[in-house]
């Protein structure tokens, strides 16, 4: 018996996802009328099908398929948790995940939507849960956290099997504690958020420390 996933698979085959250099979001080509893109990352794009609205299909770029396999493995280890989505199935290039309502913290910043402290606490609890499962919580940033009924839902767990600390979350938390009150409730222009994102992604090349990065951002804003 054909299920909703099988109907969506034919549509997904009509979409090509391609990665880009410098940690830029993927690009897509092709047309599938019954799919809508609900998220774009640096390795994959996420689609929802009208035939299966309770699920999303995270399709990876062909040169990022190893991350699809890694993410499926991580979801299997994480099991049932209120901090993470559920992976129902995995195929060569994509995963079938539970559809999660909400808005990313990245879009909260753009739209001036309040990010409660509970979200920060939830991410901290989620990271501790990951560690207890023997995994390494990393690559946690504004686009990988959903604001969902005042709580946090963490997306993209593909790097949790990699070693080392990328300090993304630590820096984000520090920024929230030190500076969020300055922008809370105010829409921040996309060009500014995107500039900070690009500078941060290249921080190891141009800045000697997190403090140096923040100092450079402050100088940049004072000149505007």
Q: For a pLDDT cut of 70, what percent of the chain falls above it?
A: 97
Residue 3 pLDDT: 58
Residue 1's pLDDT band (cuts 50, 70, 90):
very low
The pLDDT of residue 4 is 66
Look at residue 224 in the predicted model and tell me its pLDDT: 62
Asked whether the predicted pLDDT for residue 2 surpasses 50, the reply is: no
CA-to-CA distance for 28 and 40, rounded, in angstroms? 9
Tell me which residue of 28, 52, 22 sits closest to 40, measured CA to CA: 28
Model pTM score: 0.88
Q: State the number of CA atoms in the 13 A half-sphere of 134 facing the CB.
A: 6
Gap between the Cα atoms of 26 and 59, Å rounded = 11
Give per-residue pLDDT as tens, 18-30.
Answer: 999 888 899 999 9
In which band, very low, low, confident or very high, does the pLDDT at 169 lie, cut at 50, 70 and 90? Answer: very high
47-56 per-position pLDDT tens digit? 998 888 899 9
Q: Dihedral sign, CA of 118, 119, 125, 128?
A: negative
List domains and CATH numbers for the chain: 4-98 (3.30.200), 103-222 (1.10.510)
Those residues with Cβ within 8 angstroms of residue 220's Cβ, 6 or more apart along the chain or in another chain = 195
């Amino acid at each position: 018996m054909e299920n909703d996933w099988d109907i969506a698979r034919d549509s997904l085959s009509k979409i090509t996802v391609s990665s880009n250099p410098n940690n830029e979001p993927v690009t897509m080509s092709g047309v599938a009328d019954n799919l809508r893109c609900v998220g774009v990352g640096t390795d994959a794009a996420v689609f929802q099908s009208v035939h299966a609205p309770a699920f999303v299909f995270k399709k990876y770029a062909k040169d990022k398929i190893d991350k699809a396999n890694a993410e499926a493995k991580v979801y299997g280890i994480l099991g049932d948790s209120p901090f993470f989505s559920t992976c129902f199935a995995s195929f060569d290039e994509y995963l079938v995940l539970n559809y999660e309502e909400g808005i990313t913290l990245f879009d909260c910043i753009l739209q001036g939507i309040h990010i409660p402290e509970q979200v920060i606490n939830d991410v901290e609890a989620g990271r501790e849960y990951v560690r207890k499962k023997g995994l390494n919580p990393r690559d946690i940033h504004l686009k990988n956290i959903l604001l969902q009924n005042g709580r946090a839902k963490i997306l993209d767990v593909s790097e949790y099997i990699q070693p080392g600390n990328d300090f993304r979350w630590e820096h984000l938390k520090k920024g929230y504690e030190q500076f969020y009150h300055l922008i809370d409730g105010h829409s921040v222009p996309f060009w500014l958020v995107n500039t900070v994102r690009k500078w941060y992604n290249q921080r190891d090349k141009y800045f000697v420390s997190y403090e140096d990065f923040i100092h450079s951002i402050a100088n940049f804003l004072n000149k505007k």
